[in-house]
Chains A and B, each alone.
Chain A
């Protein structure tokens, strides 16, 4: 709660064009926003640019922030819109497939091959192999720990769609794991 209050104070200062407040906001949220964007666009250079655009938009629109949601949720909402529109603009879906292993793959030396047999590693790789839509909602729920209503706001979809999309993302994950030889017994 204190963090949210501090975040809102920062946004109020940013609305008055206070660059020190922008620095502080970057310090608090830049890494999470960058990771969220990178998991969608899958290109470090693109993620860097989109992340900068997110904070630039926050700088420009700080005066219109209404505190209906937390600052973190507001930033992720901007980030999602920016990342998705960038993907569309760059027709990244093809690149998405091409680079599906880019984040998960660090090399195929013997040690890594051994690690890939590990269930946790297999899970991580299967999550990375999900569609951008499914991976995004899994990230929002599990890593960013957003509630159903917050995910709804960030993605701009109804509450029921949030629940069903997450459900089908999990089912797809189980299918990918099954294909990798790991039967979770669900669904």
Chain B
């Protein structure tokens, strides 16, 4: 017992436990202690109603807070580690396709086109974590009305062996995000987080063409 406890009356000690008694979060010993005291002091039972009122108001106060949640994609970009996330299975498919081209038997050539399509599909599935389609659960929650008005600025195709993490980091660095795709040819629509893009952002768009390790092609958006 601390000094504070020694100075407290039994009634105050019981009163201190009442919030947890009402929420059902007391251990068995304290619960029994409270119940014994309440049986001997019915006047204290009135306090249970006060605690219940406080709990109702606290829950109402919390639930009145609109679910104005932070965007998950910003977090997912920050947790995307190049070469780790979703890369292992994608890279296995990429390697399999490379093997086919390195040993171009008639059968392999016949299957190469289909395998390339598999790569695009696999990449599309992996990039799904980065997509910010309007109306889905991961658009920027704070400005849905504004987001809906923003148009893509370009369509980009990524190299087959670009990892999701590398793509995510590049988009993050350039303040861009995927808004649609995959489109025919494995292209994705991108736009800047802020629009209209500044001159600096337009320069960045041009510069990503040089990221040949990640970007296969950039086309102006229609």
Task: Return the contact of A55 from the options B15, B26, B46, B75 (Cβ within 8 A).
Answer: B75
CB-defined contacts of A23 to chain B, threshold 8 Å: 72, 76
A164 touches B16 (CB 8 A): yes
With A120-B60, A163-B16 in contact, is A19–B129 under 8 Å at CB? yes
How many chain B residues sit at the interface, stated as a range, is 35 or more
Within 8 A of A (CB), among B59-84: 59-62, 64-65, 67-70, 72, 74-76, 78-81, 84
B70 touches A52 (CB 8 A): yes
With A48-B70, A52-B75 in contact, is A124–B15 under 8 Å at CB? no
Stretch in contact with the other chain, from A1-9, A76-84, A86-94, A144-152: A144-152
B86 touches A19 (CB 8 A): yes
B25 touches A123 (CB 8 A): no
Chain A residue total in the interface (Cβ 8 A): 48
B79 touches A19 (CB 8 A): yes
**Cβ of B58 < 8 Å from any Cβ of A?**
yes
**Cβ of B47 < 8 Å from any Cβ of A?**
yes
Roughly how many angstroms separate A146 CA and B18 CA in the complex, as a whole number? 13
Task: Return the contact of A147 from the options B20, B70, B78, B86 (Cβ within 8 A).
Answer: B20
Task: Return the contact of B54 from the options A38, A123, A147, A148 (Cβ within 8 A).
Answer: A123
Specify the main secondary structure of chain B where it touches its partner: helix
Q: Which of A48, A51, A163 has the most CB of B within 10 A?
A: A163
CB-defined contacts of A59 to chain B, threshold 8 Å: 79
B58 touches A142 (CB 8 A): yes
CB-defined contacts of A147 to chain B, threshold 8 Å: 20, 25-27
Task: Return the contact of A120 from the options B12, B57, B74, B81 (Cβ within 8 A).
Answer: B57
Roughly how many angstroms separate A26 CA and B26 CA in the complex, as a whole number? 29
CB-defined contacts of A184 to chain B, threshold 8 Å: 50
A123 touches B53 (CB 8 A): yes
Task: Return the contact of B65 from the options A35, A51, A163, A186 (Cβ within 8 A).
Answer: A35
**Cβ of A141 < 8 Å from any Cβ of B?**
yes
With A17-B85, A123-B53 in contact, is A142–B23 under 8 Å at CB? yes
B79 touches A139 (CB 8 A): no
With A23-B72, A146-B25 in contact, is A56–B60 under 8 Å at CB? no
**Cβ of B114 < 8 Å from any Cβ of A?**
no
CB-defined contacts of B81 to chain A, threshold 8 Å: 17
**Cβ of B217 < 8 Å from any Cβ of A?**
no
B142 touches A48 (CB 8 A): yes
A145 touches B75 (CB 8 A): no
Least distance between B132 CB and chain A CB atoms (Å): 14
B69 touches A30 (CB 8 A): yes
CB-defined contacts of B173 to chain A, threshold 8 Å: none
With A103-B65, A148-B20, A166-B16 in contact, is A22–B5 under 8 Å at CB? no
A167 touches B12 (CB 8 A): yes
CB-nearest residue of chain A to B22: A142
Show 17 A/B contacts (Cβ-Cβ < 8 Å), sorted by A. A19-B79, A30-B69, A35-B62, A39-B62, A55-B75, A103-B65, A120-B53, A123-B54, A123-B57, A139-B62, A141-B23, A142-B55, A160-B2, A163-B16, A164-B16, A173-B54, A186-B50
Q: What is A's interface to B at a CB cutoff of 8 Å? A: 17, 19, 22-23, 26, 30-31, 34-35, 38-39, 44-45, 48-49, 51-52, 55-56, 59, 103-104, 119-120, 123-124, 127-128, 138-139, 141-143, 145-148, 150, 160, 163-164, 166-167, 170, 173, 184-186
